[in-house]
């Protein structure tokens, strides 16, 4: 069939609609999802079962090419699920992300002109400071196939991860082969190696390698574990944390029931905005340090913190925003449901000589009530919720508290727009939205927005 791409879905794949006659002569709609295509392109596509109402297929041929189409530089692009837009010139990606944010807030009744152009990267490659690779049952190392979490694409390179991180991951892949170690089979729930996490501070250079396995590195695995230590410490002196983490749970997540430090310590040091952070294997920290710094700068610029003011940092994590703001306000209270993150935030504040912070391990709604009772009404509130958003109850609680200024850091334009709509009834006006591209060649976009309480 020949199809024209009229839009992209939330996974970055092209969408097309074809009207055709069924056996009774009635028109039926067939909705097509065609990855690696761009809006306006005409493509040739094969539909094995045209009687279906929906179908997903790769294009056989691009008949009319988008002017911003480019050759993807990664040899794994067509199969690997790590990126979806390497075939799109970077400026086109940025325009799409700006439009996504505009459409999201316009759908909630806000003026799309409040959205500025997305801030991109000068060099949108090798930007990630953390990657989670997966072992296939045969022991090969890679990333999941696009749309198929059962299949792992063995990798020779990765153009979005830091170069040294990729080199270290490839060394682990060689180590796996040399010892003929099995990977984990998700269907049979057997096999040894599950994931490899690599994270590196672009500021300090320190690197962490964490191997997730179903057994401890003892007995018959001791020789292999000792060889891994020798290989890594010899070739990668920047690895300051080499971990073996036991994970026997059926869930396909990088989690640990027992940790073994093979070499170095169980954390690495990173820096942002001049502040030092300790990162463990399960610490959430922005994965694009260059653009994360821009998020912090924008939040400070919009929030205009003053030394006479109090501030609440909701969903504070390990203090990524808390520490830069704490030095600019009188008092800061951080709220985060993950207890280990709160412990890290306290430790990070102490490491940086910051003593005007209070951190509370509570869910956002209960935590904000507790802080407001003991802390009082802050002039400034910042929130950086997960992709699911803060939710109506939390936003209405913020609205009733009436801080003068609210800075919302978003990683999902759609939930962001729904959240801020809740604040209108409490007298807040959206002033500006600045999208920032933290994940080039993917559909994801972050944004920083300012809302001000009307006089």
pLDDT tens by residue, 315-360: 999 999 999 999 999 999 999 999 989 999 999 999 999 999 999 9
| pLDDT confidence tier of residue 449, bands split at 50, 70 and 90 | very high
Residues labelled as active-site residues: 411
For the chain, the average pLDDT equals 95
Model confidence band, residue 183 (pLDDT cutoffs 50, 70, 90) = very high
Predicted confidence at residue 264, as pLDDT, reads 98
d(CA 8, CA 14): 5
- Scanning 204-337, the segments in alpha helix (DSSP H) are 222-235, 289-303, 322-326
> How many C-beta atoms lie closer than 10 Å to residue 213's C-beta?
24
User: Is 142 in a helix, a strand, or coil?
Assistant: strand
List of residues 6+ apart from 422 with CB closer than 8 A: 392, 395, 396, 399
Q: 51: domain CATH number? A: 2.40.50.140
Cα–Cα distance between 120 and 440 in angstroms, integer? 8
199 lies in a domain?
Answer: yes
pLDDT for res 20: 84
258 and 297 together in one domain:
no
Which pLDDT band holds residue 256 (cuts at 50, 70, 90)?
A: confident
Task: Clarify whether residues 425 and 361 are in a common domain.
Answer: yes
Half-sphere exposure (CA, 13 Å, Cβ side) for 406? 30
Q: Are strands 59-64 and 268-272 parallel, antiparallel or unpaired?
A: unpaired
Q: What is the pLDDT of residue 73?
A: 96
pLDDT in tens, 187-236: 888 999 999 999 999 999 999 999 999 999 999 999 999 999 999 999 99
3-state secondary structure of 324: helix
Domain membership of residue 115 as a residue range: 95-122+288-453
Q: How far is CA 301 from CA 34, 323, 410, in A?
A: 41, 15, 16
The answer to whether residue 244 sits within a structural domain is: yes
Q: What is the mean pLDDT of residues 236-258?
A: 90
Parallel, antiparallel, or unpaired for β 27-34 and 54-56? parallel
Which residues make beta-bridge pairs with 359? 334
pTM of structure: 0.92
User: Are both 379 and 404 inside the same structural domain?
Assistant: yes
What's the pLDDT at 239?
98
Structure tokens at 325: 């703001």
For residue 326, the cross-strand partners are none
State the pLDDT confidence band at 82, using cuts at 50, 70 and 90: confident
Give the CATH number for residue 440: 3.40.50.150
Clarify whether residues 388 and 446 are in a common domain: yes
Coil, helix or strand at residue 355:
coil
């Amino acid at each position: 069939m020949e199809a024209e791409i009229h839009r992209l879905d939330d996974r970055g794949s092209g969408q097309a609609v074809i009207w055709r006659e069924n056996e009774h002569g009635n028109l039926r709609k067939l909705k097509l999802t065609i990855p690696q295509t761009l809006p306006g392109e005409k493509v040739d596509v094969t539909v094995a079962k045209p009687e279906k109402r929906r179908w997903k297929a790769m294009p056989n041929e691009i008949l009319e090419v988008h002017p911003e189409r480019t050759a993807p530089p990664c040899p794994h692009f067509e199969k690997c699920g790590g990126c979806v837009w390497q075939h799109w010139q970077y400026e086109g990606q940025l325009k799409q992300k700006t439009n996504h944010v505009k459409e999201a807030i316009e759908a909630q009744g806000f003026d799309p002109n409040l959205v500025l152009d997305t801030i991109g990267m000068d060099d949108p490659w090798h930007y990630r400071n953390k990657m989670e690779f997966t072992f296939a049952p045969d022991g090969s190392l890679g990333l999941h196939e696009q749309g198929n979490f059962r299949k792992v694409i063995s990798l020779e390179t990765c153009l979005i991860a830091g170069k040294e991180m990729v080199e270290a991951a490839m060394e682990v892949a060689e180590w796996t082969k040399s010892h003929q170690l099995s990977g984990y089979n998700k269907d049979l729930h057997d096999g040894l190696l599950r994931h490899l996490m690599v994270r590196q501070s672009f500021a300090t250079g320190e690197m962490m390698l964490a191997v997730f396995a179903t057994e401890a590195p003892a007995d018959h695995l001791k020789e292999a574990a000792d060889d891994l230590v020798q290989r890594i410490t010899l070739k990668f002196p920047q690895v300051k944390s080499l971990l073996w983490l036991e994970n026997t749970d059926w869930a396909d997540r990088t989690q640990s029931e027992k940790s073994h430090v093979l070499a170095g310590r169980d954390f690495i040091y990173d820096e942002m905005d001049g502040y030092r952070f300790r990162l463990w294997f399960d610490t959430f920290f922005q994965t694009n340090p260059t653009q994360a710094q821009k998020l912090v700068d924008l939040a400070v610029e919009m929030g205009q913190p003053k030394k006479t003011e109090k501030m609440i940092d909701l969903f504070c994590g390990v203090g990524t925003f808390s520490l830069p703001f704490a030095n600019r306000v009188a008092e800061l209270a951080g709220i985060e449901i993950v207890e280990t993150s709160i412990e890290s935030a306290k430790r990070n504040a102490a490491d940086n000589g910051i003593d005007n912070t209070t951190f509370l391990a509570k869910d956002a709604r209960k935590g904000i009530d507790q802080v407001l009772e003991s802390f009082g009404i802050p002039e400034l509130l910042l929130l950086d919720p997960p992709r699911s958003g803060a939710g109506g109850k939390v936003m209405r609680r913020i609205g009733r508290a009436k801080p003068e200024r609210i800075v919302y850091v978003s990683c999902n334009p759609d939930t962001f727009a729904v959240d801020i709509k809740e604040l209108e009834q409490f007298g807040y006006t959206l002033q500006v939205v600045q999208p920032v591209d933290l994940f080039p060649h993917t559909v994801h976009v972050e944004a920083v927005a300012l809302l001000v309480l009307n006089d």
